[in-house]
Amino acid sequence: MIRFLTRQFITGLITILPVMLTLYLVYWFVISTEQALGQIIKFILPDVLYWPGMGFVAGIGLVFVIGLLMQVYVIKALFNKVEELLYHMPLIKSVYGAIRDFFQYFSPNRSSEFQQVVAVQFDNGMELIGFVTLSSSESLPIVDGDEEERVLVYLPMSYNIGGYPVMIAKSKLRSVDMTMEQAMRFVLTAGVASNNSESS
C-alpha cells in the first residue's frame, strides 16, 4: 500500500514540477523586468502616462533591439571584445562560460552549426550519436601518416551541458535518420524524451 501511494505521489510530482517551474520562471521574468524597467520609465514619464506592464513591454522591446544590433558587424565585434575580457577574469570566466554554454543550446542559430547527425562506430561495437561540425580535414590538425579523410564530430553528454569534439575517420561514421532537434533531445535526455513521446 505504501509503495503504491509513494509511486503515485512521485508520478504526480514529476508531472507537475516541470509545469510549475516553467510558470515560475515566466512569472519571475515578467516581475523582474517590470520592476527593473518600470522604475526607469516612471522616472522618465509622468505617473499619469504610466500603466502596469509597461516595464515588461519595454523589456521585450529592448531584447528584440539587442537581437537586431547583434546582426551589425561593429556591435557584434564590440560584444566579442567584451566577452573576451570576461573570459580572462578568474572565477567570472567559469560562471559566465557555463551560463553562456547553457543558453547556447536554445539559440536559433545553433542548429546551423551542425551539418549532419551521425552514429560514431567504435571497434567494440558501441556507437555514439554525434553531430558533424567540420566535414573537411582542411580545418583540422594534421595527423602524421594518416591519409584517411577525417571530420570533426561533436559528442554531447546526456543530462549535462558539454561534450567532446572528436576527430574521426569518415569510414567510422554512419548516417542517422533524425533531425538535429530530435537527435539533440534524444542524446541530452538519454532517450527518455523519445520514449515518452512514443508512449503518449
Instruction: Quote the mean pLDDT of the chain.
Output: 79
Residue 173: phi and psi, rounded to 5, are: -110, 145
One domain for residues 7 and 87: yes
Question: Looking at the structure, do residues 53 and 120 belong to the same domain, yes or no?
Answer: no
Spatial CB neighbours of 2, under 8 Å, sequence gap ≥ 6 = none
Tens digits of per-residue pLDDT, 69-106? Answer: 888 888 888 988 888 888 888 888 888 877 776 676 55
Q: Is residue 70 classed as helix, strand or coil in its secondary structure?
A: coil
- CATH number of the structural domain spanning residue 141: 2.30.30
Nearest to 153 by CA among 115, 180, 179, 190: 115
Residues 117 and 100 in one domain: no
Same domain? For 9 and 97 the reply is yes
Q: Say yes or no: 47 and 89 in one domain.
A: yes
130, burial (CB in 10 Å: exposed 0-12, middle 13-18, buried 19+): buried
Of 58, 80, 104, the last residue of a domain is 104
Instruction: Tell me the average pLDDT across 8-15.
Output: 85
What distances in angstroms separate CA 141 from CA 136, 138, 145, 173, one per listed residue?
A: 11, 8, 12, 19
Model-level pTM? 0.47
More confident residue, 149 or 54: 54
Q: How many domains does the chain divide into?
A: 2
Residues 123, 48: one domain?
A: no
Instruction: Please name which of 152, 149, 177 lies closest in space to residue 164, comparing C-alpha atoms.
Output: 152
Residue 53 confidence (pLDDT): 85
69 and 129 housed in the same domain: no
Residues 133 and 88 in one domain: no
**Amino acid 115: pLDDT:** 63
Convert the pLDDT of each residue in 114-173 to its tens digit: 568 888 887 777 888 888 877 766 666 666 666 677 888 888 877 766 777 888 887 888
Q: Is 184 in the same domain as 139?
A: yes
Q: Which domain covers residue 154, as residue numbers?
A: 111-199
Residues, the chain, total? 200
Yes or no: say if 34 and 56 are a contact pair by the CB < 8 Å rule.
yes
pLDDT on residue 146: 62
Residues 56 and 33 in one domain: yes
| 96 and 121 within one domain | no
Q: Which of 70, 104, 138 is the last residue of a domain?
A: 104
Instruction: Determine contact, residues 104/161, Cβ cutoff 8 Å.
Output: no
pLDDT at 87: 82
Q: Which of 104, 129, 156 is the last residue before a domain boundary?
A: 104
Residue 81 and residue 53 share a domain: yes
Backbone Cα Rg of the chain:
23
